[in-house]
Structure formats: structure tokens, C-alpha cells
Structure 1
Amino acid sequence: MRILFTTISEHSHILAQTPMAWALATAGHDVRLASAPAMTDVITSAGLTAVPVGTDHNMHEMLAQLSQQGAGSIENELSDWSEPSVDKQTWQGILFKYQVTVPMALAPYNDPIVEELVEFAKSWRPDLIVWDPLTYAGAVAATVIGVPHARLLWTVDIYAAMREAFLELRDQQAPAMRQDPLADWLGNQLAAHGKEFTEEVVTGHFTLDPIPDSIQLPPTGNRVPLRYTPYNGRSVVPRWAWEENDRPRVVVTSGSSFEAALGATFLPFSDVLAGLADLDVDVVTTLSEAEKDKLGTLPDNVRAVGFVPMQVLLPTCSAVVHHGGFGTWSTAALAGVPQLVTTIRHGDLWLRAQRTEEIGAGLRLHGPSVTPESARAAVVRLLEEPGFQAGAAKLREEVLAMPTTASAVADVERLTNEHRAVLV
């Protein structure tokens, strides 16, 4: 089959798609990955065939400006999707989320690439389009050419769950009040090509899901479980990372993707490192040069490094402190490492941290409220209370029981053929 992957122009989203793309390629399928031109080098560095489409977005500049105003400008009721259920939402509140999210986030990400993506799909005629859960352009292109399409998640599935809540609350309103910003936006994209909107444009014909059941929301539609496979791009293992270590190692990292996208992080390095300074542990922290300069002199037990692949580092650690991003969280889960997630109510970050705490695999703190004392107390608990090691080990077992990307290929082939037969 010809299989087209597509994602918005974000580095970490390319990395999340790469293992499944390679699994399908090594199974004999013709795979290409389409994104905005800025992602071409990221895609080709992964050994995949890139299809540059459209133009690059300006979301980073806009988000960086917001982050400079403080976390409160990014952490608000509109960006908080941590409670995607009817009993936690009101019609006015959920409608406002979509009234803002569609023009301020989804459209700026998708509109610059959708037309050329459709043109390429018409030319190449893929049998399946696999799209990132924010890349509705992929669903539009698949609908225009009449082929199956699937979402590949990197998130607790807040987008499908919030959509279900929205539809239920919408249908309770008088007909004249049943506004639907998402359907209107996608419907206009499709109408330009003589097609109509359906809910499958939002949810896909099936979903590839690397989030374990203990963390994930109840599934919507056809779900293919998928074990997370770490991929961080070109990586080198430094000697110190594999040498024997006499003391427990604690990693403190905010992830590269959030800093690149937002121009800031929600992990207060100075407070966390100060809180760990008197512990008998070796602290490894991933810091950019700008962050190093900002922090100045570091505690004696801290090793500041640049980029180190988490799948190399975390298996050598006793605990990890991070911002809650998908890649770091998933790698820690795979390694069986207790996690302290210092994050905010933005997207699925708080929900994933909450569920991690509920299953005993870690703790969560509100990033902007972290103090040296609260960080120290949380890390001490992770290191000294055996329940967290047991919880993290149980989460690791759950992840390892999920099908590998190679094993999932057969399900992708089967579901594609089933839906293609219906669409023909």
C-alpha cells in the first residue's frame, strides 16, 4: 500500500510518527511523510521520504509572546482540556473553547498546508492517510480523495472525548443555538472540493493509540493499541551515561519541544535544583545554553548537559522530574521510573499527570507553584517510598504488554482494507 503520514509543523510530532512510519515501511509499504517545509530536514534525518506542503505557521511566535506574559496567559480555561466530559463542562464553556481554539490554534496549524496536501494526495493516491490528532488537514485530504484515514495519538484522547461532550451538550440546545465552530471550519474546507463534513473527519476511521489503558480515556471507535517506541532523532550516548553510578540518579528535564514551541518551560529549574541540592543523589539536568546562563552557579550534585536521549538516560535513573510532555512521560513509563510531573492545566498535561499519580507511578505538582521545599519533598517520596517503584514497574509491565509497531502493522492493513471496501 501507499501510506501517507502527515502532521502539523512541530518537531516532536514528527518524532512521534516516525516509529510507526518505519514499521510500515519495513513491512513493504510505500511510506511518505508530509508536513510544512520547516520539517523537511527532521523527516529526512529520520530516513523517511519527506513531502513539503504549503507554508510554515507562525504559532511559535504567538505562543512565545503569550508565555512571556507568564504561565497564566497560557494556562486558562480555554487551554485546559483536562476534564473532557459532559458533567464537567457547560454548553457556554465548551462552545467558547471551540470558538477560540479553531481560529487561534487549529486553523493556523492546518490552513497553511491543507490545499497543497490535498493536491499531493490527488496526485499520489495513497491507500491510507495517517494523521496527527491536531492535523485535520490529513482527514480533509483523505475525505477528498475517498480513502481511509487514521489518527496516530501522542495524547490522552482529550480531542475525541471533548468532541463527544460537545455534541451531547449541543444536541440539548434549541436548534437555532446549535453552533459548531469545528464542523463549520472543516465543512468549509471540504465544500471547496465538493465534499461534506462527517464526524469521521474528527475521529478518523480508526485510531493508533500508544497511551496505556490505565492512563487513557475510554476509547472512541476502532482503537489499535500500540506500544510507545522512543525516537529522539540523531543521538549519541555519552560515557558518563553508561558508567556505574554509586548514588541514585535523578533526571530533571523540561523537554526540548515545549521550549521550542513556547519559548519557555513550566518546570522551574532553579527551585527544583535548589530543593535537591542537599540530597545524596546525582542530578542530571538537560539545559540549553541560555538556561545555564540564566541559572548561574549550580549545586555541586548537579550535572548540566545539553541534549541526551531519554531512552538512554532514564533506565539508569531512580526518578525523573519533568514537565509532562508525551515523549518524556512515555519513555519514563517504558523504563519503569517514578515520575514527578511539574506541569500546568494545558491540553492533556494535567490529566496525564493526575492519572499517573492515581495509579501510584508518580506525583504531580503545579509548575508555577513549585518551591524548593515542595520539589524536595516529592522527590524524597519517590526515592524512599517503595509504592512508587512498584507503581512505575506495574505501568512498565502494562506498556510492554502492548503490541509493538511491527505487530500493529497487520491491524493497520486489515482496518484499511475493511474501510476501503466500504468507501469504494
Structure 2
Amino acid sequence: MRVLFVTIPWKSHFNQLVPLAWALRSAGHEVRVASEPELLETITGAGLTAVRVGSDETLKQRVRRMLGGEATPGQVDSPFFDSLYEIDDGRRDGLPREAISWVLDTLVVPQMWILNDELVDDLVRYGRFWQPDLVLCDALTHAGAVAADAVGAAHARLLFGSDPYLRMRGDFLRAKERQPGEYPDTMRDWYAEWARKYGRDFTEELITGQFAVNVMPERCRLEPHERTLSLRYVPYNGHSVVPSWLCGEPRAPRVLMTFGITSWDWADRETISAEQVQEILDSLADLDIEVILTLPGEARELLRSVPENTRIEDFVPLDVVLPTCAAVVHHGGGGGFNGAMLHGIPQLVMTYAADASVKRIVLRQTGAGLSIAPDEVTGQKVREYLTRLLEDDAFRAGAERLRQEALAHPTPGALVPDLERITAEHRSRRDH
């Protein structure tokens, strides 16, 4: 079968889909990855075939143009986010209509415009030419569902973290049932307008996907799709070289500190300031540990000093360094959280990521780590929490429990027959 992956031009999102793409290709299927020009070299660098869609404008340029240079997608504070990302075992009532409408209208739908409007026409055009059987969409790439529906391909959403979109949609529909009446449905409107352009009617499947593929353990899922295929997380870090200093046992307990591979490129997405990094390093300077800090050169230059127990690198492949670590400190992104989960490493999460509430709850439920809210991050608190992770064996046991849950999921190769079966059920070619 022909499988088209669709992703926004964001390396950390693309990296997470590579193992499944290669599993499908290794099983004999045709695989292509569609994204905007700035990601094409990254796609081909992974040995995959790229399809150019969208404009030559970079994502950063578009964001600056459309938002006036004041913010980036996802960088809106909301008092409702903790409830939105709450894990509730089915007992959650959901956000009220006014709250969910605010989240949709202020954050979600503008983000959909910015990330997707430039993609839809090109994706449909290419889909009509290539006729994919299955379209697998990054969770933020809503354009993929519109294109799949237009050409009759099966389509699913790839999830490497929690799924706020299905949660938001469920909250909205439940609120509408409780409070009947006419009020805007901006998420529906976006899909419906594009669907009409290609002679299709809106269906809820455009928003939810016909099914979902999810690497997160069940306890981490907010409101799973009724048809969810579980997938084991397999790390991919792009072009990677094992550094010589990793070819030996660490002299002391090794701690990895990483705050994302893209956040330092966006000043207004900065997860942690250089001043805070310096404070943290100073607070850990007298501990008998080996700190590995990933930090780009321009950020490193902002530091006043580097303690003797700290090594700073621009980049270290997580799947190479994590197995040598006693703990990892990170900002809550998918690569750090999923990588630590896969290797059974206790985590200290400074919960800057949007789904911070989910990660806090998961770490608390499993005993796999600790978390600090962004406004509570201090050097002393990081020292205190990290010392607990290193000295209390219960955290290592909790991390191992979470690891076993992750390993219980099928590998990408083992998932291929399920994808073949479910694609055959949903695929319906259309004449144009």
C-alpha cells in the first residue's frame, strides 16, 4: 500500500514518526513524507522520500507575520489548561462551554490556520496524483485529514504525547448537549470550509481521525480514540555520532539536563532562561555527580561559568546517553519524557510543555519522577529534587514500572499488519 506521512516543519515532530515510516517501508510499502520546504533536507537525511507542500516561507517567518512577532503557536497562558489535561478515569465533567470556546478561539483554531492553511491545496493535489491508501498525520497537521478525506484514503493521527484535540472536541460537544443553542463551532468551521472546497461534507472523523496511533501508556491518555492502536516508542535522533567521552563508565552518577532541540531558536518559546540554567548549575556544583547539559553555542555564551562537574554539548543523541544516566532533568517535551520512560530513568520534569499536568500526574502515579512548575524553578529546588531522585531507589523502581508499560506495546514492525488491516477497512478510492 501507499502511505503518506504528513507533518509540520518541526524536527522534533518529524523525528518521532521516522521509526514507523521505516517499518512500513521495510515491510514493502511505499512511503513518502509531506512537509514544507524547510524540513525536506531533514526528511531525506533520514533516508525517506520527501514531498514538498506549502510555501517557501519558513514556519518562524509565517508565525511572525501572522502574529505580529509577539507570540508563537501554543504560547498562550490559560487558567483552563490544568483541567484540560487532567487524567480523570472517566469522572471528569469537562470544561464549560465558555471556557472551551475561549481555548478554541484563542489558541487552537488560530494555530490551525498558521500551521495548516498553506498545506491543504498542495496535499490534495498530490493525493489526487499519488492516490495514497493511508495518511498518517502529526497531531498538529490537520491538513492531512482534509486531504485524505478528499481522495478517499484511510487516515489516522499519530500521537507521541497526550491528545488535547480529542479532549477539547469532547468537552465542546458535551457542553453543547448540556446547553443547547446556537453558538460558534470554529474548529468545525475550519474543517467544513476546506471539505466543501473539495466536494465533501464535514464529519467528526475529520477532527478525530478514523483511528489513532499512540505511543503513550494507557494511563497517560486523556480521552483515547475509541479505536486506538498502541505503538512502542522507538527513539530517532537524526544524524548521530557517539562521542568518545561516552565510551566508558561515568566517574559519578550521570545526570542529563536538556531543554529541547528547538526552543532556543524561538526567543518567545524559551523554556528556561540562561540565568536559570546558571543558577541550577551553581546549585549542583558541589555534588558528586556528572552533569551533561545540552545547550546551543549562543546560549552557552550567556553563562558566566561552568562548574567542574558539568559538561556542555550542543547535542547528544538521547538514546545513546540516557542508558548511562541515573536521572534526567528536562522541560517536559516528548523526546525527553518518552526517552526516559523507554529506558527506565527517573525524571525531574520542569513542566513547561503544554501537557504539563499529564506528565505531573503520570510521574506521581508511577513514582517514576518528580516535577517542578515553571514559576517555582530555582537552583535550590532543583538540587533538592534531583538529590531525592538519586538517593531514593523507589524512583528507579517506579521508572522501571513505567518502562515495562511502554515495552508492552508492539514495535513499529509488529504494528504494520494492523495498519494494513485497518487501512483496507477504511480505504475508498474516489474518482476525480
For normalisation by structure 2, the TM-score amounts to: 0.92
In structure 2, relative to structure 1, the CA distance for the partners of 1:191 and 1:422 (3 Å cut) is closer
Choose from 298, 308, 322 the match for 1:300. 308
Counterparts of 1:45-56 in structure 2, within 5 Å, are 45-55=45-55, 56=57
Which of 367-376 and 140-149 deviates more? 367-376
Q: Write out per-residue CA displacement over residues 19-44 of structure 1, whole angstroms, 9 at most, x where no aligned residue.
A: 11110000000000001111100100
Q: Distance in 2 between matches of 1:61 and 1:256?
A: 20
User: Are 2:286 and 1:283 equivalent residues in the alignment?
Assistant: no
SS of 2:218 mapped into structure 1: coil
In structure 2, relative to structure 1, the CA distance for the partners of 1:289 and 1:61 (3 Å cut) is farther
Q: Write out per-residue CA displacement over residues 220-271 of structure 1, whole angstroms, 9 at most, x where no aligned residue.
A: 2211110001001000100111312221001111010333355543233123
Judge conservation of contact 1:24–1:406 (CA < 8 Å) in 2. Answer: yes
Judge conservation of contact 1:60–1:260 (CA < 8 Å) in 2. Answer: no
CA displacement at 1:392 relative to structure 2: 0.4
In the alignment, what sits opposite 2:344? Answer: 336
SS of 1:176 mapped into structure 2: coil
User: Are 2:110 and 1:104 equivalent residues in the alignment?
Assistant: yes
Judge conservation of contact 1:84–1:165 (CA < 8 Å) in 2. Answer: no
Choose from 406, 411, 414 the match for 2:418. 411
Q: Write out per-residue CA displacement over residues 292-316 of structure 1, whole angstroms, 9 at most, x where no aligned residue.
A: 1111211121111111100000100
Choose from 343, 353, 356 the match for 1:349. 356
CA RMSD, 1 decimal: 2.3
Q: Write out per-residue CA displacement over residues 156-189 of structure 1, whole angstroms, 9 at most, x where no aligned residue.
A: 1222122111111122223223x21000011001
In the alignment, what sits opposite 1:259? Answer: 264
Identity within the alignment, %? 40
Which of 266-275 and 16-25 deviates more? 266-275
Read off the aligned partner of 1:387 and give its amino acid letter.
Answer: A
Which of 28-37 and 241-250 deviates more? 241-250
Q: Write out per-residue CA displacement over residues 398-420 of structure 1, whole angstroms, 9 at most, x where no aligned residue.
A: 11111000000011001101122
In the alignment, what sits opposite 1:128? Answer: 134
In structure 2, relative to structure 1, the CA distance for the partners of 1:360 and 1:416 (3 Å cut) is same
Judge conservation of contact 1:343–1:365 (CA < 8 Å) in 2. Answer: yes
In the alignment, what sits opposite 1:311? Answer: 319
CA displacement at 1:96 relative to structure 2: 1.1
- Structure 2 unpaired stretches of 5+: none
Read off the aligned partner of 1:327 and give its amino acid letter.
Answer: G
User: Are 2:246 and 1:241 equivalent residues in the alignment?
Assistant: yes
Choose from 366, 373, 390 the match for 2:373. 366
Q: Distance in 2 between matches of 1:66 and 1:381?
A: 39
User: Are 2:177 and 1:171 equivalent residues in the alignment?
Assistant: yes
- Structure 1 unpaired stretches of 5+: none
Which of 73-82 and 360-369 deviates more? 73-82
Choose from 227, 231, 236 the match for 1:226. 231
SS of 2:262 mapped into structure 1: helix
Judge conservation of contact 2:151–2:429 (CA < 8 Å) in 1. Answer: no
In the alignment, what sits opposite 2:85? Answer: 82
User: Are 2:398 and 1:397 equivalent residues in the alignment?
Assistant: no
Judge conservation of contact 2:87–2:222 (CA < 8 Å) in 1. Answer: no
Judge conservation of contact 2:363–2:370 (CA < 8 Å) in 1. Answer: yes
Judge conservation of contact 1:66–1:73 (CA < 8 Å) in 2. Answer: no
Q: Distance in 2 between matches of 1:374 and 1:354?
A: 19
Judge conservation of contact 1:285–1:303 (CA < 8 Å) in 2. Answer: yes
Judge conservation of contact 1:84–1:162 (CA < 8 Å) in 2. Answer: no
Q: Distance in 2 between matches of 1:65 and 1:270?
A: 28
In structure 2, relative to structure 1, the CA distance for the partners of 1:416 and 1:347 (3 Å cut) is same
Judge conservation of contact 2:43–2:50 (CA < 8 Å) in 1. Answer: yes
How many positions carry a matched residue from both structures?
419
SS of 1:295 mapped into structure 2: coil
User: Are 2:277 and 1:272 equivalent residues in the alignment?
Assistant: no
CA displacement at 1:103 relative to structure 2: 4.1
Read off the aligned partner of 2:321 and give its amino acid letter.
Answer: L
SS of 2:193 mapped into structure 1: helix
Which runs of structure 1 show a deviation greater than 6 angstroms over 4 or more consecutive aligned residues? 421-424
SS of 1:33 mapped into structure 2: strand
Read off the aligned partner of 1:99 and give its amino acid letter.
Answer: D
Read off the aligned partner of 1:128 and give its amino acid letter.
Answer: L
Q: Distance in 1 between matches of 2:102 and 2:317?
A: 39
Which of 206-215 and 181-190 deviates more? 206-215
Judge conservation of contact 2:257–2:294 (CA < 8 Å) in 1. Answer: yes
Choose from 96, 101, 124 the match for 1:118. 124
SS of 1:294 mapped into structure 2: coil
Read off the aligned partner of 1:279 and give its amino acid letter.
Answer: L
In the alignment, what sits opposite 1:40? Answer: 40
Counterparts of 1:61-72 in structure 2, within 5 Å, are 61=64, 65-66=69-70
In the alignment, what sits opposite 1:13? Answer: 13
Q: Distance in 2 between matches of 1:64 and 1:18?
A: 33
Read off the aligned partner of 2:9 and give its amino acid letter.
Answer: S
CA displacement at 1:64 relative to structure 2: 10
SS of 1:285 mapped into structure 2: strand
CA displacement at 1:102 relative to structure 2: 4.0
